[in-house]
Amino acid sequence: MNNRVHQGHLARKRFGQNFLNDRFVIDSIVSAINPQKGQAIVEIGPGLAALTEPVGERLTSSPLSSWTATWPPA
């Protein structure tokens, strides 16, 4: 299997893309972030949501989207 392919997506090396898929590394990053309820966290370029989902489990999330171009209520 091509190691540049993850969940059907091809990493484009010219853009420096990599897909985080090592559970130990993901858990280590989430532990280092130590997200708390009420804390504001902005994730830029979430990719395939390797960090989005485990961090989101600890927070109340309000996703922003360029499709809606609106801010969620505070």
CA distance 32 to 74: 26
20 is in an annotated binding site: yes
8 is in an annotated binding site: no
45 is in an annotated binding site: yes
CA torsion through residues 14, 47, 72, 70, sign: positive
Q: Which residues contribute to the annotated binding site?
A: 18, 20, 45
Q: Which residues contribute to the annotated binding site for S-adenosyl-L-methionine?
A: 18, 20, 45
